[in-house]
Amino acid sequence: MQKETAARPLTGRMVLFMLLAFFGVIITVNMVMLRLASSTFSGLGDKNAYVAGISHNKSLAAAREQDNRAWKVDANIRRVAPGRSVVTILRSDGGMAANTDVTVRFQHPSSGSLDRSVSLPSVGANTWRAGLELPAGVWDIVIEMRSGGAVVFMSRDRIVASDSKVAGDG
């Protein structure tokens, strides 16, 4: 003998509650994702894109001047402890860099709140060095050299800072 179970009839009220529950979950998830997205990334690549666009010709002229100087600048970033790095900038073209101020900015690609900057004191002829707290991750490094208030050298590159040892490291 087979037992028959009485199925609940599908009423308009049940359909209404199912629809409200379905769309309630969708709207709640969307609101949470919107809040997380807007709190972690502003969506702006440049704080003042209009001014940057207008000054584009000046940037091109400065880049040509920098190329004409033919400076050779090397950056060395050495991990001394987890989260701690030493940055060394060396100008190896032989020219003297009198009264040159060197600033290195580490810009996080996804969050401006993680950006950090360090001014490097001179530690010898054409050599600047400083330590800083730099968490592991991907960073855009911007090296800026100023002399007499004017930018005489600028370089931008992407690096990966890692706290783990690379295979083959001592």
CATH of the domain at 112: 2.60.40.10
Residues 6+ apart with CB under 8 A from 67: none
| Cβ atoms of residues 121 and 128 within 8 Å | yes
Asked whether residue 29 is domain-assigned, the answer is no
Asked whether residue 170 is domain-assigned, the answer is no
Asked whether residue 148 is domain-assigned, the answer is yes
Domain range for 145: 71-161
How many domains does the chain divide into? 1
Asked whether residue 30 is domain-assigned, the answer is no
pLDDT tens per residue across all 170 residues of the chain: 566 677 889 999 999 999 999 999 999 999 999 999 888 776 666 667 777 778 888 888 888 888 887 777 888 888 777 777 888 877 776 666 667 888 889 898 888 888 888 888 888 777 888 888 888 888 888 988 888 888 888 888 888 887 765 444 44
pTM tops 0.95: no
Q: Which helix (H) or strand (E) holds 66?
A: helix 56-69
